[in-house]
């Protein structure tokens, strides 16, 4: 009998090529089809590491209490008004703010209207900003080391990190900027009409946050035009739509109702400035004092650039540093003022000179040496780049120029106005830096990066810690003594207390009250609990007559004191209470820091 062998084969349906690729909603391919999916944090090592560092640092500072640091008191005032369906802006606000205000209203509907709630929203916006920047660096093909260093510098920028847990406009504008820049970069490597529209959409959205969007949006459109010119093709219809979108958002910003306003944009002030040759020359004369901010913003990268230089160039950099040192040291390095000073943050008004780790000849001299050497190293670095390399970052250069040059020409500016230009300067420097670096240079770069980030963190920690205590003391004292505007702790608090509780309307025409006699002051004070070796060394140098002849400790440039503001030790009998707080730079020197309340006796 013949055996019958049955062979069963598995029938497979023919695999048809799908007409449309399946859509996968994962974070990794949200922006770019080639980006790694969010299946593993290991595939996003740089972003994950910096995000964890950021969140942990915020938890250490823990800024989630009721206090403002700059103009955020007015922005929160507007969220309060918007939530009451009063959408007319008061006369005090210069920023467009509309989009941020509406997002803030939506957020407060879920979590309530408070400083802490809105600060959490800003932290989330900052994390999204960092993720967008990381995706851009991936498109540029940068290594994990370069990406991590760049993200750290983008985060711990002195004009980004301290405001990344407030309700200031900078973090929200930067998020729109980073998203627009991501899609612009994606369009550069793989053009598509959708990317063009998204790049312009986020740039146009930034107009509804800050007037600087009126510089960003045209610059993005110009960059797209340049990329289209290079590839000899363009999406004409989408460019027209993009232009219409920019005009629409600009019109919304310009026509949004505002009390006591002639709806004059800062761009109009720029035109007026350009028409006055004397003022224009004075503005251009400030350019050298802008350079230290750019050099400082990429200091760890500049260290690596310096180490890559040939010995002859290093000698040239050293000679140039010695030549320019005095010019910048004499004006306390960062002359423009408002946010960043070697001694701390936001110290232009009511800072009382004292010996501290950062307010010392040794620290300022070292910082100035590094900043000036960074300036010269970077100038040589960029000058040595080939035309093809510079052409590759031409869109970034256009964006940098658009967000920097008009501000300088405008004349009336603070240091924090350059934050967007500083961001692109970090990106340009990181992009041009080679991926393959010797291990010794990586170690030096990492070491300098750690010190840089720690310095900014310590400044932010110190500022937010004592500011939170001051505002808490002010609330208590206001109730105990029935004080209104007679309590002084900072200009920001005085503006807040004079406006926040008033109904919105044309009567709100001035933030800072005038003609007041203050009854109580809340400020910082310090006592020495025992000299440390570091303090002894710094003190000896600080008091040396020889050193002071050539290298005296420079004061904050154009610093101001409020009438009646003085060291609490001058009025020890008037001290109501002293609250100690931990300050890193004072602890190292053996000092103890306090927030002191002193009042006129009744």
List, as one string, the DSSP characters of 40-68. -GGGGHHHHHHHHHHHHHHHHH---SS--
Residue 70 and residue 171: Cα distance in Å, rounded? Answer: 14
Same domain flag for 436 and 506 = no
HSE, side-chain direction, 13 A CA sphere, residue 291? 20
User: What is the DSSP secondary-structure string of 284-345?
Assistant: HTTGGGTHHHHHHHTHHHHHHHHHHS-HHHHHHHHHHHHHHHHHHHTTTS--S-SSEETTEE
Residue 196 and residue 185: Cα distance in Å, rounded? Answer: 10
Residue 431 and residue 425: Cα distance in Å, rounded? Answer: 10
HSE, side-chain direction, 13 A CA sphere, residue 265? 19
Burial zone of 94 (CB within 10 Å; 0-12 exposed, 13-18 middle, 19+ buried):
middle
- The predicted structure's pLDDT at residue 478: 87
Residue 262 confidence class, pLDDT cut points 50, 70, 90: low
Same domain flag for 232 and 309 = yes
Residue 24 confidence class, pLDDT cut points 50, 70, 90: very low
HSE, side-chain direction, 13 A CA sphere, residue 191? 15
Q: Is the separation of the CB atoms in 497 and 470 below 8 Å?
A: no
CA dihedral 412, 415, 419, 420 (to 10 degrees): 20
In a domain, 120, yes or no: yes
Mean pLDDT of 323-337: 95
Residue 583 confidence class, pLDDT cut points 50, 70, 90: very high
6: left (phi over 0), alpha (psi -120 to 50) or beta: beta
In a domain, 426, yes or no: yes
pLDDT at 9 over 80: no
Same domain flag for 433 and 469 = no
Strand partners, 258: 89
pLDDT at 267 over 60: no
Beta strands in 395-452 (DSSP E): none
In a domain, 67, yes or no: yes
Same domain flag for 556 and 454 = no
Same domain flag for 430 and 490 = no
Cα-based angle 520, 522, 527 (whole degrees, multiple of 5): 125
Residue 103 and residue 278: Cα distance in Å, rounded? Answer: 42
Q: Phi/psi of residue 455, each to 5°?
A: -60, -50
**Which residue, 367, 396, 407, is CA-closest to 150?**
396
Strand partners, 577: 597
Residue 425 and residue 409: Cα distance in Å, rounded? Answer: 19
pLDDT digits (tens, 9 = 90+) for 282-321: 778 889 999 999 999 999 999 999 999 999 999 999 999 9
Mean pLDDT of 18-24: 39
Same domain flag for 471 and 544 = yes
* Cα-based distances in Å from 293 to 165, 329, 375, 460: 22, 14, 10, 17
Same domain flag for 448 and 497 = no
* Cα-based distances in Å from 495 to 54, 265, 386, 491, 514: 30, 23, 51, 6, 11
The lowest-confidence range among 97-101, 246-250, 306-310, 563-567 is: 563-567
pLDDT at 8 over 70: no
Sign of the Cα pseudo-torsion (106, 107, 108, 110, in order): positive
Q: Is the separation of the CB atoms in 425 and 308 below 8 Å?
A: no
In a domain, 331, yes or no: yes
Mean pLDDT of 191-199: 96
User: Where a domain ends, among 428, 460, 492?
Assistant: 460
* Cα-based distances in Å from 36 to 31, 125, 145, 173, 574: 10, 22, 17, 27, 63
pLDDT digits (tens, 9 = 90+) for 450-490: 999 999 999 999 999 999 999 999 999 888 888 877 888 88
In a domain, 19, yes or no: no
In a domain, 32, yes or no: no
Same domain flag for 347 and 468 = no
Burial zone of 101 (CB within 10 Å; 0-12 exposed, 13-18 middle, 19+ buried):
buried
CA dihedral 404, 410, 416, 419 (to 10 degrees): -20
- The predicted structure's pLDDT at residue 442: 97
Mean pLDDT of 184-196: 96
Structural domain range at position 438: 41-460
Token pair for residue 472?
């808490």
Same domain flag for 427 and 542 = no
Strand partners, 579: 595
What pTM value is reported for the model?
Answer: 0.90
* Radius of gyration for the alpha carbons in the chain, expressed in angstroms and rounded: 27
Strand partners, 174: none
Same domain flag for 451 and 498 = no
* Cα-based distances in Å from 503 to 86, 497, 509: 10, 13, 12
Residue 41 and residue 144: Cα distance in Å, rounded? Answer: 13
In a domain, 28, yes or no: no
Strand partners, 523: 596
Helices in 412-532 by DSSP H: which ranges?
A: 419-432, 439-481, 491-499
pLDDT at 3 over 60: no
User: Where a domain ends, among 426, 460, 494?
Assistant: 460
The residue that leads in pLDDT, 506 or 63, is 63
Give every CB contact of residue 437 below 8 A, 6+ residues apart in sequence: 145, 304, 308, 445
pLDDT at 17 over 80: no
Residue 313 and residue 406: Cα distance in Å, rounded? Answer: 33
Residue 274 confidence class, pLDDT cut points 50, 70, 90: low
3-state secondary structure of 560: strand
User: Where a domain ends, among 442, 460, 478?
Assistant: 460
Residue 357 and residue 73: Cα distance in Å, rounded? Answer: 31
pLDDT at 118 over 90: yes
Same domain flag for 254 and 282 = yes
Structurally, how many domains does the chain consist of?
A: 2
Same domain flag for 371 and 421 = yes
Strand partners, 355: none
In a domain, 204, yes or no: yes
Residue 202 and residue 219: Cα distance in Å, rounded? Answer: 13
The lowest-confidence range among 24-33, 66-75, 240-249, 359-368 is: 24-33
**Which residue, 212, 185, 184, 217, is CA-closest to 198?**
184
């Amino acid at each position: 009998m013949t055996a019958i062998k049955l062979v069963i084969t598995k029938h497979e349906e023919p695999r048809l090529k799908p007409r449309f690729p399946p859509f996968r909603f994962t974070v990794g391919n949200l922006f770019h089809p080639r980006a790694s999916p969010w299946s593993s944090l290991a595939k996003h090592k740089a972003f994950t590491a910096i995000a964890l560092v950021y969140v942990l640092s915020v938890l250490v500072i823990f800024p989630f209490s009721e206090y403002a640091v700059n103009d955020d008191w007015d922005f929160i005032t507007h969220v309060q008004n918007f939530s009451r369906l009063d959408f007319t802006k008061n006369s005090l606000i210069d920023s467009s703010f509309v989009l941020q205000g509406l997002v803030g209203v939506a957020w407060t509907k879920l979590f309530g209207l408070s400083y802490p709630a809105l600060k959490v929203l800003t932290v989330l916006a900052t994390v999204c900003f960092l993720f967008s920047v990381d995706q851009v660096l991936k498109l540029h093909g940068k290594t994990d080391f370069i990406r991590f260093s760049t993200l750290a510098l983008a985060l711990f920028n002195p004009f980004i990190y301290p405001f990344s847990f407030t309700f200031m406009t900078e973090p929200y504008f930067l998020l729109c900027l980073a998203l627009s820049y991501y899609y612009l970069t994606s369009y550069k490597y793989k053009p598509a009409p959708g990317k063009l529209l998204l790049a312009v959409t986020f740039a146009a959205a930034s107009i509804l946050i800050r007037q600087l969007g009126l510089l960003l949006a045209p610059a993005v459109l110009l960059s797209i035009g340049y990329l289209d010119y290079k590839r000899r093709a363009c999406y004409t219809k989408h460019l027209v739509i993009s232009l219409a979108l920019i005009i629409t958002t600009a019109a919304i910003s310009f026509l949004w109702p505002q009390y006591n306003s002639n709806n004059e944009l800062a761009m109009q002030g720029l035109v007026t400035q350009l028409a006055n040759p004397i003022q224009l020359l004075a503005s251009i004369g400030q350019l050298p004092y802008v350079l230290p901010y750019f050099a400082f913003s990429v200091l760890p990268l500049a260290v690596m650039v310096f180490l890559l230089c040939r010995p002859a160039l290093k000698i040239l950099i050293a000679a140039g540093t010695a030549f320019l040192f005095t010019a910048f040291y004499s004006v306390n390095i960062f002359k423009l003022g408002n946010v960043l000073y070697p001694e701390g943050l936001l110290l232009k008004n009511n800072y009382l000179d004292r010996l501290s780790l950062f307010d010392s000849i040794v620290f300022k001299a070292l910082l100035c040496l590094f900043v000036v050497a960074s300036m010269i190293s970077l100038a040589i670095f960029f000058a040595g780049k080939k035309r093809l390399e510079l052409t590759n970052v031409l869109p970034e250069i256009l964006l940098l120029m658009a967000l920097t040059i008009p501000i300088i020409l405008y004349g009336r500016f603070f240091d924090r106005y350059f934050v967007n230009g500083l961001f692109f300067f970090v990106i340009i420097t990181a992009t041009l830096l080679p991926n393959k670096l010797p291990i010794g240079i990586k170690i030096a770069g990492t070491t300098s990066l750690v010190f840089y980030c720690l310095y900014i963190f310590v400044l932010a920690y110190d500022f937010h810690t004592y500011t939170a205590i001051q505002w808490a003391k002010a609330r208590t004292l206001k109730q105990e003594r029935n004080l209104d505007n007679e309590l002084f702790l900072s200009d920001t608090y005085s503006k807040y207390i004079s406006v926040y509780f008033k109904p919105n309307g044309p009567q709100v025409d001035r933030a800072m009250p005038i003609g007041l006699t203050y009854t109580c002051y809340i400020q910082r004070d310090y006592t020495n609990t025992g000299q440390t070796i570091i303090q002894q060394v710094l003190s000896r140098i600080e008091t040396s007559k020889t050193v002071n002849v050539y290298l005296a400790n420079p004061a904050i440039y154009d610093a101001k004191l409020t009438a009646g503001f003085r060291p609490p030790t001058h009025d020890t009998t008037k001290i109501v209470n002293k609250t100690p707080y931990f300050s890193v730079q004072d602890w190292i020197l053996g000092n103890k820091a306090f927030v002191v309340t002193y009042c006129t006796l009744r």
